[in-house]
Amino acid sequence: MHHLPPEVARAVFADAVDKRQPILTFEVLQRTLPSTLGATIGFINTLILMPFVKPRRLTNFVFTYLIPLVPLFLMWDGVASCLRQYSADELESLVAPLRSRSYTFRIERHKVPGMPMVVTCVVGLPVP
């Protein structure tokens, strides 16, 4: 959802309501300092994991270790994604006008077992 501006996100939810189709969205990042700092660790993870990426190519080595573009791009993407996340309250404001007797929405937050992560979900379901 963080790739969609609010008006487009609302339109996606409205389309599900209009077509009486279930919808599930989820985000694994949050717009918080710990989540954003965690996204910066992507730089280190890339350095550690790149030797295991197949097929092994010289360009992977060059753009990871000599000119670290791959780690920098992945870190930037993670941080930018954190900053664009919708909060549970913002998601609630997107779907609240769409609730009706024939369609319901739930905003759920689930802790990932064994990890310092919370997944935020929007569950939309037509009422039978």
pTM for this prediction: 0.81
Q: Give me the architecture of the 1-30+87-128 domain, per CATH.
A: 2-Layer Sandwich (3.30)
Could you please report the per-residue DSSP string of 72-114?
HHHHHHHHHHHHHPPPHHHHHHHHGGG-BTTEEEEEEEEEPTT
Average pLDDT of adjacent 10-residue blocks, the chain of 128 residues: 96 98 94 88 88 93 94 93 95 96 96 90 97
Predicted confidence (pLDDT) per residue in 13-36, tens digit: 999 999 999 999 999 989 999 889
- Cβ atoms within 10 Å of 7's Cβ, excluding its own: 8
> What are the extents of the domains in the chain?
1-30+87-128, 31-84
